Chains A and B, each alone.
Chain A
Amino acid sequence: MIAFPSFPDRLETPGGQIGRPVNRVDGRLKVTGAARYAAEHTAPDLAHGYIVSSAIAKGRITRIDTSAALALPGVLAVFTHENRPDLAWFDRKWKDEDSPKGSPFRPLYDATISHSFQPVALVVAESFELARYAARLVKVDYAAEPHQTDLAAVHRDAFAPSKDKGGFQPPPRPRGDADRALVEAEVTVDCHYSQPAEYHNPMEMHASTVLYNDDGTLTIHDKIQGASNSQTYVCNVFNLPKSAVRVCSPFVGGAFGSGLRPQHQLFMAVLAATQLKRSVRVELSRPQMFSFGHRPRSLQRVALGAHRDGRLRTLIHEAVQETSQFENYVEIVVNWSGQQYKADTTRLDYRLARLDVYTPLDQRAPGAATGVNAIEMAMDELAYALEMDPIALRLKNHTDIDPNTGRPFSSKELRACFAQGAERFGWSRRNPVPRSMRQGRDLVGWGVAAGVWDAMQGQAEARAVLGLDGSLMVASATADIGTGTYTVMSQIAADVLGLPLEQVRFRLGDSALPTAPIEGGSWTVSSVGSAVKAVCDKVRDRLARAALTLEGRPFGTATADDLLFTDGCIQSRIDPAQRLPLTEVMREAGLFAIEETARSLPYLLQRARHTLGTHSAIFAEVRVDADLGTVRVSRIVSAVAAGRIINPKTAGSQILGAAVWGIGMALEEEALTDHRLGRVMNHDLAEYHVPVNPDVGTIDVIFVDEEDRVVNPLGAKGVGEIGIVGVAAAIGNAIFHATGVRVRELPFTVDKILAAGGP
């Protein structure tokens, strides 16, 4: 039994490393190319794999002819379901840390095709080019069966999932009779929203390089948001001991959730390496990046009824999302609405419909980036129906008690987000009348939305070693997917021990390091940061004990609480002249090194009594061409309350990047599926649009002061997700303000704006 931590032992007050906008400690490695990514590792015996992908969406493979490929000199093997080795049988062996309920997909397991682009063969050759060419010579015959990939065609067959995935909560029970209240309410809006499937498309494509060591063990360089997750998966599927598999992923070129689950290139590379007994690399092509998880397509309805003064009488939010035939991917879509706004009656409903697609996958702010868009666009429509300022309407329905649970928020500075964001944006100068603001040939629109996300925490472990030279090495098997983990963990460690940042080195991305949860959901600072603090606290306690018991009592009568750790020294608060370098204390005490490990746990009891979350207010300005209806986002202000900000620079970059993504979500991103072929067709970055530089105007980020004593010892909530939540809604609302037309189907492309009657 592990004791729960005592009530917050707060970090020292500012002045230390916490809160400083320091540059990324790994920045130089990245910009000089010294940071090596999964597909950049090599070995003298490296062979290259290339995956053959299914041309059909559903059916069976009737024949695979690999003879032409195998006939080429330099082709080593072609693996298919017909010649694969024995693999794990039970579903649980194929599950990973992020698996939803169901039977995980098993590559090359049998002749069944369940989705387009499904991997059906792996060609391994002496060079990448040869493998790719040989892959095209593999002839696959299929018996196609009727497929369905269109959510609109099956959403009536949807079912209500239960707690089918870690972190998922089904909607709370209805409160009151929301449907009747909707009929009776004085002012109502009732709208349907649609959001397309969106693919993660990190810049680095998924890749695994499996190094086959002389003793038969594997060192795997994998693109993953948690090295231990891949290690466990490989060991389970291939029946290998953990001692035989080490997974490394110290650098990840973006992931956004795509690396939360081991993807099939890992399976393929391990299969080939273990069969051929040599090192193998498999990297997906950009089109193959459309072969696995994605943000699910969703159809939503939001119906709101209000009293004349703006108080919500009723809030109804229904959502249907796609999942695969084999797993129940779920995310929290509708609960946010009930949490964010207090209504007399509430009914929230969330359903899944099965399609012949791969299982969707968490993507930045999964669920919130979908559901919050809908409620925030509906709130804007209601504001207009009430002839009320959209911010005033939101403040009218603000609540400091979570209506879903009846519990207070641990902290919620949403009102400050609105106030500071509005001030920075100049909201008071807004003429609320649609089409009333112009600049040249552009219609100008200003829109606002609120955002919300969780402040979760998992358990994590960390190890710290303080050397006699004053260098501190801290390690945990977490990941840095470009978020700044290396930097903020170094800052936390340096802060606790009063060391210069340069003396701290943080290691991550290695399954051999102390266990950490997969990096996602904005919980890494909370989970791993707390472990880093805990382990450094233990080192500090050791040092304090050593200092206080040194011969000659250099700190006099001071107690541990009187000792200050600063500038690499221990100093008495009582008499600042009593001061010794850490290294001298260690030397005097005969300590060559101090090594500690620690595990941190969430404050479960405190957390259970609260709702914990980050909040934001997003303001967007759009310019809509008055002749053509094309939209440009000229300005965004994002005001975020996320507790203590460890590093305003890396945290600010998170919000900036998320706002850019929000622009893409609002105006560009959409997987275009040919439902007759059951296949995404715009499967490259020329046609699957994400923002380019001129799409992005100025983006202003504000971090609102927020103190939270429940979330964790750091008081930090995490900022990975919150920045994207509600951005598309703010842009949609701005488009309405500019044009007077509502578009409720993402992305807001020119065809939809013209079809709605704009500009």
Chain B
Amino acid sequence: MRSFSYSRADSVDQALLGIAANGHGPAGTAAAVRFIAGGTNLLDLMKADVLRPSALVDINPLPLARIEDGPDGGLRLGALVTNADTAYDDRVQARYPLVSRAILAGASPQLRNMASNGGNLLQRTRCYYFYDTATPCNKRTPGSGCAALTGVNRIHAILGASEHCIAVHPSDFCVALAALDAVVQVRGSDGERSIPFADVHRLPGDTPHIDTCLNADEIITAIDLPRQGFARHFTYLKARDRTSYAFALVSAAVGLEIEAGTVRTARVALGGVAHKPWRDPAAEALLVGKPPTAETFAAVADVLLQGARGYGHNDFKIELARRVVVRALRDAAEREPS
């Protein structure tokens, strides 16, 4: 078999040393050294010969598997807590039901039991061409071209894409995290940093092989949820081709703060439409200070989808996204706290 070295790290420092010792290689390359946690995506990609790491550093023993109170009244989700444990955690369900719903809308129970929170952020696109080494793909093999651009692109991006890549980020969890303005805690050889969620994932541009702003020698330690969890008025709505184990065609995470019939704060993030969860502050601003009405919801959708374009098979996503946004906002506004 294609051989690789394998080591287990007991501490974050040891994990970082493990990466450094193996000469981590440039971020985004197939041969880069990888951390492995749940492995739900990485192992598939290795079997498909898409990723060919020379070394794996197993981070499962790291003490990052707890959910605890975070700074400023928020909640800190350890990077190694599984998606399932996160979704079913009492505090998450009570204070951040949007997170819980988003996680449970994704994958399957088996996958959620294995997948880690940090790994969820770093999962790769499900573009067909990315997984098929017989076809061109700039994300897999930079410079080989984007076959999806004029090929089978039903599940591809309508926003923020480039001529080099029209892949989408497949996560549901991340769409909720984007809506909540989560903060990702990272440690690297140069120390710690906090990354606002909006800055974690990138648009493809002309370097679609790089998904995130993380360096190869950095490790996600936690995801901080801010105090405001929108537990009263929230929705995670996912339109997909089957009711489970299917990635979003379009999804929306909505959080509203409504006082006396007027929207005070609004968050709307879209999934399945771009290389990263999609937000637009201008769209959200339309809601603030107004009553939640169908007209406003439609206007929000219009602004969010400004500049949207289809590539043939995915043209319908623009109309579907419009409907998903309007419906999700309505559901969130009408939701009675349970």
Decide if A and B are genuine partners: yes
Q: How far is the CA of A399 from the CA of B43 in the complex (A)?
A: 58
Most chain A beta carbons < 10 A, residue from B152, B155, B245: B152
Given contacts A628-B327, A677-B151, A679-B134, contact A691 B242 (CB under 8 A): yes
- Judged by a CB distance under 8 angstroms, whether A668 is at the interface is yes
Contact B135 A628 (CB under 8 A): no
A683 surroundings in chain B (CB, below 8 A) = 128, 132
- Judged by a CB distance under 8 angstroms, whether B239 is at the interface is yes
Contact A750 B241 (CB under 8 A): yes
B132 surroundings in chain A (CB, below 8 A) = 287, 679, 681, 683
B245-270 vs A: 1/0 string, CB under 8 Å?
Answer: 11001000000000000000000000
Q: Contacting A677 at CB < 8 Å: which of B49, B135, B249?
A: B135
Q: How far is the CA of A681 from the CA of B1 in the complex (A)?
A: 26
B300-325 vs A: 1/0 string, CB under 8 Å?
Answer: 00000000000001001001100110
Contact B245 A692 (CB under 8 A): yes
A677 surroundings in chain B (CB, below 8 A) = 135, 147, 151
A686-720 vs B: 1/0 string, CB under 8 Å?
Answer: 11010111110000000000000000000000000
Contact B242 A628 (CB under 8 A): no
B128 surroundings in chain A (CB, below 8 A) = 672, 681-683, 687
- Judged by a CB distance under 8 angstroms, whether B14 is at the interface is no
A689 surroundings in chain B (CB, below 8 A) = 241-242, 246
In the complex, which residues 611-651 of chain A have their Cβ closer than 8 Å to any Cβ of chain B? 627-630, 632
Interface of B is mostly: loop
- Judged by a CB distance under 8 angstroms, whether A136 is at the interface is yes
- Judged by a CB distance under 8 angstroms, whether B197 is at the interface is no
A133 surroundings in chain B (CB, below 8 A) = 1-2
Contact B244 A672 (CB under 8 A): no
- Judged by a CB distance under 8 angstroms, whether B150 is at the interface is yes
- Judged by a CB distance under 8 angstroms, whether A674 is at the interface is yes
Interface residues on B, range: 35 or more
B25-50 vs A: 1/0 string, CB under 8 Å?
Answer: 00000000000000000000001010
Q: How far is the CA of A672 from the CA of B129 in the complex (A)?
A: 12
Given contacts A133-B1, A628-B324, contact A684 B131 (CB under 8 A): yes
- Judged by a CB distance under 8 angstroms, whether B66 is at the interface is no
Contact A630 B239 (CB under 8 A): yes
- Judged by a CB distance under 8 angstroms, whether B110 is at the interface is no
Contact B243 A695 (CB under 8 A): yes
Contact B316 A628 (CB under 8 A): no
Q: How far is the CA of A415 from the CA of B239 in the complex (A)?
A: 40
Q: How far is the CB of B20 from chain A (nearest CB, A)?
A: 27
A129 surroundings in chain B (CB, below 8 A) = 1
- Judged by a CB distance under 8 angstroms, whether B326 is at the interface is yes
Q: How far is the CA of A566 from the CA of B172 in the complex (A)?
A: 62
- Judged by a CB distance under 8 angstroms, whether B95 is at the interface is no
- Judged by a CB distance under 8 angstroms, whether B202 is at the interface is no
Q: How far is the CB of A158 from chain B (nearest CB, A)?
A: 25
Contact A692 B242 (CB under 8 A): yes
A667 surroundings in chain B (CB, below 8 A) = 241-242
- Judged by a CB distance under 8 angstroms, whether A41 is at the interface is no
Q: How far is the CA of A672 from the CA of B132 in the complex (A)?
A: 14
Q: How far is the CB of A133 from chain B (nearest CB, A)?
A: 5
Q: How far is the CA of A750 from the CA of B132 in the complex (A)?
A: 26
- Judged by a CB distance under 8 angstroms, whether A676 is at the interface is yes
- Judged by a CB distance under 8 angstroms, whether A549 is at the interface is no
Interface residues on A, range: 35 or more
Contact A681 B316 (CB under 8 A): no
A287 surroundings in chain B (CB, below 8 A) = 132
Q: How far is the CA of A672 from the CA of B320 in the complex (A)?
A: 21
**Chain A residue, CB-CB nearest to B132:** A681
A751 surroundings in chain B (CB, below 8 A) = 154, 313, 316, 320
- Judged by a CB distance under 8 angstroms, whether A244 is at the interface is no
- Judged by a CB distance under 8 angstroms, whether A130 is at the interface is yes
Contact A130 B1 (CB under 8 A): yes
Q: How far is the CA of A287 from the CA of B50 in the complex (A)?
A: 14
- Judged by a CB distance under 8 angstroms, whether B126 is at the interface is yes
In the complex, which residues 101-141 of chain B have their Cβ closer than 8 Å to any Cβ of chain A? 126, 128-129, 131-135
- Judged by a CB distance under 8 angstroms, whether A655 is at the interface is no
Contact A672 B239 (CB under 8 A): no
B151 surroundings in chain A (CB, below 8 A) = 674, 676-677, 681
A340-351 vs B: 1/0 string, CB under 8 Å?
Answer: 000000000000
Contact A750 B320 (CB under 8 A): yes
A693 surroundings in chain B (CB, below 8 A) = 244
- Judged by a CB distance under 8 angstroms, whether A20 is at the interface is no
- Judged by a CB distance under 8 angstroms, whether A749 is at the interface is yes
B244 surroundings in chain A (CB, below 8 A) = 692-695
Contact B241 A627 (CB under 8 A): no
Q: Contacting A749 at CB < 8 Å: which of B2, B241, B243, B245?
A: B241
Q: How far is the CA of A448 from the CA of B47 in the complex (A)?
A: 45
Contact A668 B241 (CB under 8 A): yes
Which 6 pairs, one residue from A and one from B, show the smallest C-beta to C-beta distance? A129-B1, A55-B134, A751-B316, A681-B128, A694-B243, A674-B151
Complex A-B: 6 CB contacts under 8 Å: A132-B47, A679-B134, A682-B152, A687-B155, A750-B316, A754-B316
New A-B pairs, 14, CB < 8 Å, besides A672-B152, A754-B320:
A55-B134, A129-B1, A130-B1, A132-B47, A630-B239, A667-B241, A668-B241, A674-B152, A676-B150, A689-B241, A693-B244, A694-B244, A695-B244, A750-B249
